[in-house]
Amino acid sequence: MGFRRHGPFQAGDQVQLTDPKNKRHTLTLKADGVFHTHKGWIPHTDLIGQPEGSVVRSSGGTQYLAFRHLLQDYTLAMPRGAAVIYPKDCGQIVAMADIFPGAKVVEAGVGSGALSCFLLRAVGTEGSLTSYERRADFAEIATKNVEKFYGGEMKQWRLVVGDFVEALDETDVDRIILDMLAPWECVDASARALTPGGVICCYVATTTQLSKTVETIREHGSFTEPHAWETLVRDWHVEGLAVRPDHRMVGHTGFLVTARRMADGVTPPPRRRRPSKGAYGEGTEGQ
């Protein structure tokens, strides 16, 4: 299947309508469909055949902008089994884990399929994505969400229902993404599957998980020094000379940790910066 449909709207397309107050509505076009709101109704035939970026008017006179979903819009609006990874974090994963066209990528913890959508786009038609999910109900929801966005089955995607450590059968993997409660339990299996130079990327929600993940990667001996961070997104209000930050922002959603797989038999160089006194508890100095 293609990655995105272009051209005029067709029956079966998902369309996002935005009203003058920036309220958004999602509908799937049908030949006999009608979109209803308290501001009037719009027959789907008013949209079918029109180009993206058209304006349609409801029976009540309200104008709506019509576009196909951007991926970021789709992932926030799609049905959920588990909580989704927000677009700001998906973007960081694609960039900072260096997901490239043609890459062989493995993810564990598919959730509702939001990150899978971003990863599939990044690896392209020449790459591959294998996703491991313990829960069959989450896997079913993720499959429906991914196939709905891309318009059908993705040949470069394989979804495995099972435990990552037990079911992992991939080798020479370029990138591994772990989105789960205890990613430290999967570090050893990830090290065996990754090719030298490959990247492991972990997404965790709490500082306790962050600490355990970083220390496990650090102590394993097969990875470079882990890099940990979070991203915060703040919109700005811009009206003439009234330029100020919005009162609300997308703050903490999760922490990200990345590290690179070293060659077999190589010992990582010692860290130059020693941990502060007491960082590892009384009477210890860390490594």
Per residue in 76-93, pLDDT tens? 888 888 888 999 999 999
CATH topology of domain 14-68: Vcp-like ATPase; Chain A, domain 2 (3.10.330)
Q: Does 70 belong to an annotated binding site?
A: no
Nearest alpha-carbon partner for 104 in 4, 42, 176, 159: 176
The H-or-E segment that residue 146 falls in is helix 136-150
Q: Taking a C-beta distance cutoff of 8 angstroms, is the pair 44, 27 a contact?
A: yes
Q: Does 276 belong to an annotated binding site?
A: no
pLDDT digits (tens, 9 = 90+) for 220-261: 999 999 999 999 999 999 999 999 999 988 889 999 999 999
Q: Taking a C-beta distance cutoff of 8 angstroms, is the pair 34, 56 a contact?
A: no
Residues 41 and 52: their CA atoms lie apart, in Å, by 20
Q: How far apart are the first and last CA of the chain?
A: 50
Decide which of 3.40.50.150, 1.10.8.100, 3.20.20.70, 2.40.240.10 is the CATH code for 73-260: 3.40.50.150
Longest dimension (CA), the chain: 75
Q: Where are the domains of the chain?
A: 14-68, 73-260
Q: Does 113 belong to an annotated binding site?
A: yes
pLDDT at 2 over 60: no
pLDDT of residue 7: 87
Q: Does 127 belong to an annotated binding site?
A: no
CB atoms < 10 A from the CB of 44, how many? 20
pLDDT at 1 over 70: no
Q: Taking a C-beta distance cutoff of 8 angstroms, is the pair 192, 200 a contact?
A: no
Q: Does 163 belong to an annotated binding site?
A: yes
Round the average pLDDT of the chain to a whole number and report it. 92
Greatest mean pLDDT among 14-28, 69-83, 251-265 lies in 251-265
What does pTM read for this prediction?
A: 0.87
Helix 114-123 / helix 136-150 crossing angle, nearest 10 deg? 50
**Taking the mean position of all CA atoms in its chain, how far away is CA 246?**
25
Q: Does 181 belong to an annotated binding site?
A: no
Burial class of 140 by CB neighbour count within 10 A (0 to 12, 13 to 18, 19+)? middle
pLDDT at 47 over 70: yes
